[in-house]
Amino acid sequence: MLNRWRGRSLLNTSGWFLILAATALYPDDLRYPGLWALLPCLGASLVLLDAPELHASSAFSRLVLRAPILQVLGNLSYSLYLWHWPVLVLGGQILGTSWLVRLGLIALSVALAAATYVAVERPVRQLPIRQTMNVFISSALGMALGFFVLGAWQNAAVQNLHSPAQSRIQMARMDLPVLYSQPCDTWFHSAEVSECVYGPKDARHTVVMFGDSVLAQWFPAVAEIYLKKPGWRLVVLTKSACSAQEVSYYYPRIKAMYTVCDTWRKRAIDLMVQMRPDVVIMGSTHYGFTPQQWISGTRLVLKRLSPVSGAIAIISPTPELGFDGPDCLAAKANWPDWLPSPERCQTPLNPVTKNSVFDLLKTASEPFRHVGVIDMLDAICPNQLCRAQRGRHIVYRDGQHLTARFIHSLAPELRQALHQNHIPS
């Protein structure tokens, strides 16, 4: 029985075990690629090194390596490798990214790969070579044809991107606050606090923005409110992906604990303690914190800032769209008018979770004076429906951040929310 399931040899069985172990056991936070990439590579080498015979006696080999569908996919693998990426990327740009569209694009990739395999790959591979010059000429002509076809494809794509509708959508993707043109945010590269100051240097009053990129996106509205008032200056202390809450956490992008954020946050708070600002506006996006972490992490920060600040406003996290807003709008703009559009570019707020972080922030701020929690959900997603575009405004520049123009349009709503929470504005 053991011989029946282990393949042709122990090497074959060991190779499959290494591949399956890497597939099942590698966690999302593993540093990859790296030395861990050796495990599946070694497993594949062992399987190929000791491949089963043409008439394998092992049930496992017959099941896996002799399965007709797997052999068909193996034959198509190189053509599928060449086709799938442009089809999925360009098709997603044109038709959208719904599951139905993706399923259709995958089927199209397989169909194109099969046609290429039958019409091009297999005939060329089996073609007897009698004169090398003929092969050279045919290859050169094929490359030239491919160059001109791809060049025409690229020109058509560029012209499409520069159409009025697409240009407006692509500009929205880069519609960031002006502070990103200065070295205010060093992201995960450095723990140094790089403050950006706007307004008169000798201003008697100071408002500080403190948090991550989702807080930094509110700069146009905050600047509209405070910098038009005489005697005020605005100091920006933000770091992308760095929560304002005093909580250490794992950052998937760097595949490590975000210790740079912890150090930066402490230094930024120390600087604000020295400043003694009139107003602190702080906030973060949704993080995978537990309710207790939201409460305790917020209170640890407020415990240091509340005694030295005139007032503190905490902006609740921006609702996430769930998809890339400009991508959806670009696909919708490309969709033929005579076909019903599969993309609505909107998503409803989850009624269960829409106020969960807001409620936790309210609970965290209760022991402190002059601290208000601001909820802008109704201004961003009226009627509990988040849209990639509202009227003339493109709302989201990705799936999470709002465009600077849309934020600027919310200055009256933000001023009213600050006033209702007794924050000087």
Query: Omega of the bond prior to 86 within 30 degrees of 0, cis?
Result: no
- Look up residue 195 and give its two tokens: 């403050």
Q: What is the largest CA-CA distance in the chain?
A: 89
Q: How high is the pLDDT of residue 242? A: 96
CA distance 290 to 50: 49
Q: What phi and psi values does residue 353 have, to the nearest 5 degrees? A: -105, -5
Please give the full DSSP string across 210-229, using - where no structure is assigned.
Answer: EESHHHHTTHHHHHHHHTTS
User: For the chain, percent helix, then strand, then coil, each to nearest 5?
Assistant: 55, 10, 35
Question: Hey, what amino acid is at 375?
Answer: D
Q: How high is the pLDDT of residue 217? A: 97
Residue with tokens 């015979």: 53
Q: How high is the pLDDT of residue 341? A: 64
Distances (CA, A) of 210 to 28, 185, 202: 30, 11, 21
Q: How high is the pLDDT of residue 165? A: 77
- The residue extents of the domains of the chain are 2-131, 178-420
Q: How high is the pLDDT of residue 2? A: 45
Q: How high is the pLDDT of residue 391? A: 87
Buried b (16+ CB within 10 A) or exposed e, 349-371: beeeebeebbebbbebbeebebb
- Asked if residues 229 and 201 have their Cβ atoms less than 8 Å apart, the reply is no
Distances (CA, A) of 360 to 132, 322, 354, 357: 74, 22, 12, 5
Please list the rounded mean pLDDT of every run of 10 residues in the chain (425 residues): 52 83 83 82 80 54 73 89 86 74 90 90 78 77 82 73 79 91 86 93 95 96 96 96 95 89 97 97 93 96 96 94 88 71 78 75 95 94 92 92 97 96 92
pTM of the model: 0.73
CATH class label, 178-420: alpha beta
Residue 274 CB neighbours (<10 A): 9
Rg (CA), the chain: 29
Q: How high is the pLDDT of residue 311? A: 97
- Look up residue 27 and give its two tokens: 């966690």
- Asked if residues 189 and 418 have their Cβ atoms less than 8 Å apart, the reply is no
